[in-house]
Amino acid sequence: MGQPTDILKNCTPDRIFLVGFMGSGKTFYGKKLAEKLGWGFVDLDEKIEQSAGMTIAEIFENDGHFSFRGLEQAALRETFYFTKTVIATGGGAPCYFENMAEMLENGLIIYLKTPPRLLAARLVGEQNKRPLITKLAENELRDFIKMQLTVRQEIYGKAQMVISQSKNDLAFLDKIMENLRLFNVF
């Protein structure tokens, strides 16, 4: 685990899924990665909002958490038909149903591994559109991240590729590209 398996070497995947905690930069780096590759880009949360006609916050408020996870699974499965596409998943997407196993079967998963202090720094002030953390004070947010990561990290870690970042740095994109080249994925 952690690096592309032999099967992936020399084999360009049809799609790349970016996974990781809220604030790990899946959308930010996903857009840039897609641009570099000349691929399409899909943000899973945006896709859910478009088909539901509601924001993520409204879906949680009106229909509840579990309903959101159902919509998330359906939207994720639709992406399995897209080709040459980078997909930024929501932080919880790999952790429900068989989503992680299904993504592993349908593309290359890259886990954007990010330390809790960097996640917290990025998420402060960005909480409103994220119902799970909207009401948390700064210290509660840090505890929430640490607690959730103890559970989620193990799931994220099943990705074929794990790439770590420790600060805000555009060079992280180069690191992702280097890893893709190193394993001849591109």
By CB under 6 A, name the binding residues for ligand S3P. 22, 26, 45, 56, 90-92, 130-132
Do the bridges between strand 40-43 and strand 108-113 make them parallel or antiparallel, or are there none, so unpaired? Answer: unpaired
Beta carbon nearer to ligand S3P, 22 or 162: 22
Three-state DSSP string of 115-179: CHHHHHHHHCCCCCCCCCCCCCCHHHHHHHHHHHHHHHHHHHCCCCEEEECCCCCCHHHHHHHHH
* Burial class of residue 147, CB neighbours in 10 A (0-12, 13-18, 19+): exposed
Nearer of residues 13 and 92 to ligand S3P, judged by Cβ: 92
Q: Based on CB atoms, which residue is closest to ligand S3P, 138 or 178?
A: 138
In the complex, the smallest distance separating the C-beta of residue 178 from ligand S3P, rounded to whole angstroms, is 24
- The helix/strand/coil state of 53 is coil
d(CA 163, CA 158): 12
Residue 168 CB, nearest approach to ligand S3P (Å): 16
Least Cβ distance, residue 46 to ligand S3P (angstroms): 9
Query: By C-beta, is 165 or 183 nearer to ligand S3P?
Result: 165
Write down the least CB distance from residue 50 to ligand S3P, Å: 14
